[in-house]
Amino acid sequence: KFCGGPAGGRLDEAAALAAWETMRAAVASREVEEGMEESDSVLSRVQRDAGFVDACPVHRIDVATSGCLAVALDGAAAADLSAQWRDRDVCKTYEAVVAGVVASDAGDVDLPLRRVGASIRRQGRPSRVVVAEADEPLARASRSSYAVSTRGADRTVLALTPHTGRLHQLRAHCAALGHPILGDWLYGDGASADRLCLHASALAFRDPALGCRVEVASRSAWRLVDGASPALVGELTWSL
């Protein structure tokens, strides 16, 4: 984001780092003013417990989503990783358990999404997205791919790949297919599982320091038991 911009308006590395620090300071100040300081989070643990005080996030996953999350340890790494996310050089894979039996073994969902409810977010209620026509104001192109991993009696495990990075994209696209993610209180039935059954299973990107491709994977598996909430079992691995 800080190395991007329209043609002729790109920032060099020094200006990008300065913009990043300015934004971080402004956000921190705003959070203090509004009483929004995080008492516990992935970022606070990396900064406080691991000692990387300049660490900053380069992407986000929903609070109810488990799995892989990238955190840059300094401003230079943040600028590099942010550029990779902007240029869509990062590969992301998710695993989800959805309601019903998905008939097709694989497919694409190419449905624009429009954000609604942004004005009520600060009232404690979450914003969400809806499927929109491509020519609607504020509609944004959104594309996801899915492949069936396992079929149960009344649910399906899907491997999901988002090709764009919209708010709640995978959740909204699964719901649009007629197969909402189990436990999804915004786009499906929150009582259908003990948690949102969405897991960020893998991330692949170029390491800013080493210059080589890195894959971080949570080798997880959703265990399906009839009449019970799905359970996630697995371990975290990484490779160069």
User: Locate tokens 């999350």: which residue?
Assistant: 69
Per residue in 150-194, pLDDT tens? 999 999 999 999 999 999 999 999 999 999 999 999 999 999 999
What are the two backbone dihedrals, phi and then psi, of residue 3, each rounded to the nearest 5 degrees?
A: -105, 5
Helix (H) or strand (E) holding 128: strand 128-131
Per residue in 64-123, pLDDT tens? 999 999 999 998 899 899 999 989 999 999 999 999 999 999 999 999 999 987 555 545
On average, the pLDDT of the chain sits at: 86
Identify whether the C-beta of residue 38 lies closer than 8 Å to the C-beta of residue 32. no
Compare 125 and 209 and report the one with higher pLDDT: 209
Identify whether the C-beta of residue 183 lies closer than 8 Å to the C-beta of residue 197. yes
Mean pLDDT score, 138-151: 96
Mean pLDDT score, 47-70: 89
Examine the pLDDT at 203 and tell me if it is beyond 50.
yes
Percentage of residues in the chain with pLDDT exceeding 90? Answer: 53
Examine the pLDDT at 14 and tell me if it is beyond 90.
no
Examine the pLDDT at 2 and tell me if it is beyond 50.
no
Which pLDDT score is estimated for 35?
Answer: 59
Provide the pLDDT confidence category of residue 1 given band limits of 50, 70 and 90: very low
Residue among 110, 119, 98 at smallest CA distance from 188: 98
Known catalytic residues are 62
Q: What are the residues whose beta carbons fall under 8 Å from the beta carbon of 221, sequence distance 6 or more? A: 95, 232, 233, 234
Mean pLDDT score, 15-43: 72
Mean pLDDT score, 113-139: 79
Provide the pLDDT confidence category of residue 238 given band limits of 50, 70 and 90: low
Which pLDDT score is estimated for 23?
Answer: 77
User: Locate tokens 């869509």: which residue?
Assistant: 88
Cα maximum dimension of the chain: 58
Look at 10-19, 45-54, 179-188, 208-217 and tell me which has the smallest mean pLDDT: 10-19
Kindly provide the b/e burial profile for residues 174-193, where b requires at least 16 CB atoms within 10 angstroms of the residue's own CB.
bbbbebbbbbbebbbeeebb
Percentage of residues in the chain with pLDDT exceeding 70? Answer: 86
Instruction: Tokens for 190, please give them.
Output: 């929150």
